[in-house]
C-alpha cells in the first residue's frame, strides 16, 4: 500500500466526502426541479394558468437558491484540493472548526463575515 501520497492533507477528508455527497444530492434535486420550471403545460383556463405560473416562480426561486449553494459547495471542494480550505479569504487566519461545522463552505472567518454584513469595508 505505497500509493498513498504522504503530503496529501487528510484533515478535511470527511468534509470533502460530505460536501461531495451534498453536491450530488443537490444536483439530482435540481435536475428534478428543472422539469417543474421548464416543462410547458397546457392549462385549460386562466386560473390554472395563474396557479401554474406561481408554482413555476416558486420553483425558479428555489432553484436559484440551490444553484448558489451548489456554487458554494463546489468552491469549498476546490479549496480543499488547493489547500486553501479552512483559511479566511479575507484576513488569512484559520477559520475555527466550529464555524466550518456550522457552515462547511465558509470562505471567511466570523470576524470578517461580521464586518462584511455590517457594511464596513474589509479590504
Nearer of residues 56 and 99 to Zn ion, judged by Cβ: 99
Nearer of residues 47 and 120 to Zn ion, judged by Cβ: 120
Nearest of 17, 27, 12, 14 to residue 82 by alpha carbon:
12
Question: Cell numbers of 98, please?
Answer: 466550529
Asked if 105 contacts 26 with a C-beta cutoff of 8 angstroms, the reply is no
Site for Zn ion in 73-102 (CB under 5 A): 88, 90-91
Helix axes 46-82, 13-38, angle to 10 degrees: 160
Site for Zn ion in 97-116 (CB under 5 A): 109, 112
Nearer of residues 33 and 115 to Zn ion, judged by Cβ: 115
Assign 17 to helix, strand or coil. Answer: helix
Q: How far is the CB of 4 from Zn ion (least distance, A)?
A: 33
Site for Zn ion in 8-27 (CB under 5 A): none
Q: Which residues bind to Zn ion, rule: CB under 5 A?
A: 88, 90-91, 109, 112
Amino acid at each position: 500500500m505505497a500509493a498513498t501520497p504522504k503530503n496529501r492533507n487528510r484533515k478535511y477528508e470527511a468534509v470533502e466526502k460530505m460536501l461531495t455527497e451534498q453536491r450530488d444530492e443537490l444536483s439530482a434535486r435540481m435536475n428534478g426541479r428543472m422539469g417543474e420550471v421548464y416543462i410547458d403545460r397546457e392549462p385549460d383556463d386562466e386560473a390554472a394558468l395563474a396557479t401554474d405560473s406561481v408554482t413555476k416562480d416558486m420553483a425558479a426561486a428555489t432553484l436559484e437558491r440551490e444553484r448558489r449553494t451548489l456554487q458554494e459547495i463546489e468552491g469549498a471542494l476546490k479549496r480543499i484540493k488547493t489547500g486553501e480550505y479552512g483559511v479566511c479569504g479575507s484576513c488569512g487566519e484559520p477559520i475555527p472548526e466550529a464555524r466550518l461545522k456550522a457552515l462547511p463552505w465558509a470562505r471567511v472567518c466570523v470576524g470578517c463575515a461580521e464586518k462584511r454584513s455590517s457594511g464596513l469595508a474589509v479590504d
